Structure 1
């Protein structure tokens, strides 16, 4: 049973001595967590997050350790944005713990509102590049996953086989994806630290700058295309050059000529993972949503294919 906002507020006051909660409201965030925003008598806003499954609890423990390391890089000026800084935690009766941190500043990224040029689009490119320049040991020391390029391509192949087995992926789309995954040259990349689950609500901006990034529980050493995929798929096409030029200028020794091609493919494959999520959990609405998007993508890509 989900924890009520009042229960989460009580956890926040137990986790952070002196936190005097005045109001609280639930917050909808991705993942298996109960989340609420608590406002204090001093008008400060705090976020409290409690895992709802043992798996989410384990991921949260790794994320807590990672955030401690990332905060050091923020303080050193290596990362040009803020990350959540855990202020306290409270043990849960079923095991695990809830964590509390001050709410990060900024407004959620409006991808559709991006404009080409040296503004926010370019800053997004620089921001992702800064993440990808972090040493792999930052993630590996926390027990988070680390993959070689070959291992990661194999994971994609397994996902595609599972999606094909549902018989819900259009045949032409499936063949195109299979061909791309068989193209070994597409998958020659240097694994880097990636956030792994970027979304507009986790990227907060102020003006033309990214001010903070949250939601680090899926961080890993893997394909840089994972972090670029969501952005390149949703950003206005005229902004892609600004994003990628800033990204490439910020990266050192970047030799990945197929990065954009792979990122666009990864964005498409996300629909297959959405389908699998619905099938595995028996969520008929998610399955229907995924099938509709797959059909739209199939039609769009067939229209783009030369006769």
Structure 2
């Protein structure tokens, strides 16, 4: 720590309450000036590359870039070596996190998340390009997906209906007419740090996981909404309202497809490592996905305005390695995702079964989500005025749900 921050007076250290997926060795250091810093140490080459990318991205966020954002990003403090590993030291941001499946609809959390994503996408692309980070055009993003579909299909473990569905999507020129933007290359619900506001409900005050900072398809940062069916319409509507770019009528369809393709990435990952256990697991997930799709709606070609089915109501059940390798550990000390909903879990079950077999079985049981009418998400209904009272009641209920989540977090954190 002192090597990364010369002259700093460390008054104490501790572990973080949010232990994430333990992909990093990490701790919090308290300084004499009142600041708290997060230290993450890479355990292997993969996490070392991620920390290096995070370091570069945070330094690319100049004071001017940060001033554009309506929330905070961690400040880069320094780097050092801890044993044989490289350590990244950043500012510790306050706030609580909510898992995707528990993001409530309505005002507050969902709308604030949508606006936050739009703010990231509104950053000048020069921020990324001047730092030498990855920049992809719409056509290059399309080609990346084409290669992924071909690689997955070559394993012989992808159901034919999925391969046809994805190839039809890649072939649809209308889906790929978008403006590349600054993205985080796969934001997750737990990337957002929230604090409660008496008037507006929980609001995004910080954003983590900048290691994927790049220029590319904005849909990649909306793919996580497949795991948040209740909140998805409000997140997307807030995103559309807050975006200063030209409307992208196909963004939701691409986001759904990218979510489905996380299963394919998991398959290709296992195949490249010659890991039959991973390959079998990914194949089972793909079979579950295929079974949830209507046979008459496999192509995405006509789905831009009509919607597209998806069996990804619970994308967060995909192993972490397949979901953009996002780490949520050691970046906030305000919230333990495993404890937020502990009260409900204890009421529903005396123990938590985390076995692979149970997870796969749960995935198979996921009901297909009907997304007919995708375009309607971005358009207010004609009789919206007549439904104002119902909308107000729904918003009030969403506020209560959001605050209930916050209260559970506060209660679990104080115990």
What is the TM-score normalised by the length of structure 1? 0.83
Question: Residue 149 of structure 1: CA displacement?
Answer: 0.6
Change (3 A) 1:285 1:82: farther
Matches of 2:48 and 2:99 in 1, distance apart? 30
Question: Residue 75 of structure 1: CA displacement?
Answer: 4.9
Contact 1:194/1:220 (<8 A) preserved = yes
2:245 corresponds, among 243, 253, 267, to: 253
1:106-125 equivalences under 5 Å are 106-125=95-114
Matches of 2:189 and 2:154 in 1, distance apart? 32
Change (3 A) 1:38 1:13: farther
Radius of gyration: which is bigger? 2
1:176-215 equivalences under 5 Å are 176-207=165-196, 208-215=202-209
Matches of 1:108 and 1:274 in 2, distance apart? 25
Aligned length: 290
Change (3 A) 1:28 1:162: farther
Question: Residue 285 of structure 1: CA displacement?
Answer: 4.0
Structure-1 residue corresponding to 2:224: 230
2:151 corresponds, among 159, 162, 168, to: 162
Matches of 2:51 and 2:39 in 1, distance apart? 12
Other structure's SS at 2:292 match: helix
The question of 1:137 aligning with 2:130 is answered no
Other structure's SS at 1:100 match: strand
Q: Deviations over 1:188-239 (max 9, x none)?
A: 11000000132233222223211221121122100000001112x01124x3
Q: Indicate the RMSD between aligned Cα atoms, in angstroms.
A: 2.8
Contact 2:193/2:204 (<8 A) preserved = yes
Q: Deviations over 1:130-186 (max 9, x none)?
A: 000001111112221101111110011001110011111111111111111111111
Other structure's SS at 1:159 match: helix
Select the structure that is richer in strand: 1
Contact 1:197/1:215 (<8 A) preserved = no
Change (3 A) 1:305 1:151: closer
Structure-2 residue corresponding to 1:86: 76
Other structure's SS at 2:193 match: strand
Structure-1 residue corresponding to 2:93: 104
Q: Deviations over 1:102-124 (max 9, x none)?
A: 32211222322233322211111
Contact 1:71/1:82 (<8 A) preserved = no
| Structure with greater contact order relative to length (CA < 8 Å, sep ≥ 6) | 2
Q: Deviations over 1:261-282 (max 9, x none)?
A: 1111111111111221222234
Other structure's SS at 1:15 match: coil
2:214 corresponds, among 211, 216, 220, to: 220
2:37 corresponds, among 31, 46, 67, to: 46
Matches of 1:270 and 1:105 in 2, distance apart? 30
What is the TM-score normalised by the length of structure 2? 0.63
Most deviating of 47-56 and 160-169: 47-56
Structure-1 residue corresponding to 2:58: 67
Question: Residue 36 of structure 1: CA displacement?
Answer: 0.7
